Chain A
């Protein structure tokens, strides 16, 4: 075979270079706007101020009566996060099944009812966006007024915001896997529910489970912030310790968080192995 007259040029090369350049050009003004000046960390005395602030956190508090409080608050946080995620799951699953294109029967062909189908999917996506656009701490502030101080408000706030987040990501996970199997079932007259559980869920179970556990981990952290507005758990305890300038107690609470995140990680690994 004769050699090619011109060296082979990758037709995608120029487009990729342009995209990278545009990304950099967009990023620069954003860094300026965000007052990103990391060198100030090292400017005169700043390090010392931070160090003395952090030194206040040592040693971690280990007083028995504080540990008893901590234990109760930890259980409360776990209960808030778990109940919140469970409710969010109940909100998210039907919405994701409605919003995902992978189960859109009317797109085959396209067949009857495609305009209605597209409208329902768009409306569901919009609803998911509204649910997750408002931060859980704002919902918590609203629900605390209705339900009073305590974990109940935190659970409801998580259910709303995390329902929106889970729903959006489930929708996309269901579309990102192999959707051919679902389509084949729909083409054999299967209802959407059948295609969801016989094709989409089996092919994306690992991703769905690992994202759900990750969200549970986020819910544990989110319950802290909500604790600051009176929604119970470790956050409320942390709020009290910080107000009393008790750094030792705060650091024990932070260590508890670390332990919870490690537990979530292990849980996720176990679930993924079971579903593998």
Chain B
């Protein structure tokens, strides 16, 4: 099966903290899944395990039927070049220009001479600009990253992954620093990338339940390192959501795109029937 698959994956951090417990899931290529759950549920760890930056201490990960941790160094590097990760706090040096930060997305596929030459004269400023335009940030392409706000930098991190054009997009709280409308725009851009012809698999951990409901046809609820539910969004009831967040007080965390009630939930099912979605 093409896509990402976890079989009984568990992860214990070196300090003894258990972050994942017996997680099994399969994501087909082109599938879009949101991972939701209270903070500390293991969402970030799950994304990092899927992105081969953490090695599961139990169970196995398969990427297109290969266990990346049994590959040689070269094959692992080529596999990683097909994975794009949007980090919650973008790991971009402040002195870098936006254009360079975005172009860095393709370092995994560029030959070394091209990477070095692009530091002197950006080799594909147009491509970087196009990626930034999709996030309403095209006018900042030649600015330095330390001139940007936290939200703008977060969108540069998303633009880098869009420019990378990976087969798997893993987003860890990709819009935590954005206001509601920009968050909506940015998640929309990631979804559009996944819906495009090549069909990238998209896994996004989201704190905002409303965004997850609006954009993703499948939801995985996590709590204390375990999967609580994994089902089509239309089959997730408001009660299930409230139970998932029971420890965080009464209100469901949301970005403020739309209120979460059953009427909107019904509307979301309509949204999900747009062409290109199943």
Contacts and interface: CB of A to CB of B under 8 A. Distances in A.
Contacts of B94: 203
B52 interface: yes
Interface string B15-59: 000000000000000000000000000000000000111110000
Contact of B119 (A106, A178, A183, A197): A197
B73 A111 contact: yes
B76 A111 contact: yes
A181 B108 contact: no
Contacts of A110: 55
Contacts, number: 99
B93 A189 contact: no
Interface string A88-118: 0000000000000000011011111100000
Contact of A197 (B53, B81, B116): B116
Interface residues of A, number: 30
- Chain B interface residue number, banded: 35 or more
A106 B166 CA distance: 22
Contact of B55 (A109, A113, A203, A205): A109
Interface string A159-190: 00000000000000000001011011111111
B93 A178 contact: yes
Interface in B89-143: 91-96, 100, 104-105, 107-110, 112, 115-116, 119
B79 interface: yes
A188 B80 contact: yes
A174 B233 CA distance: 45
A156 interface: no
A203 B53 CA distance: 22
A221 to B, nearest CB: 31
A83 interface: no
B91 A191 contact: no
A238 interface: no
A187 B93 contact: no
B85 A187 contact: yes
A194 B112 contact: yes
B28 to A, nearest CB: 22
B93 A181 contact: yes
21 contacts: A105-B77, A108-B53, A109-B52, A109-B55, A111-B69, A111-B73, A112-B71, A112-B72, A178-B93, A181-B91, A186-B80, A188-B85, A188-B108, A188-B166, A189-B78, A189-B82, A189-B107, A191-B77, A191-B115, A199-B93, A199-B104
Given A110-B55, A189-B80, A202-B93, 10 more contacts: A113-B73, A178-B91, A183-B91, A185-B107, A188-B164, A189-B77, A189-B83, A193-B115, A203-B93, A275-B95
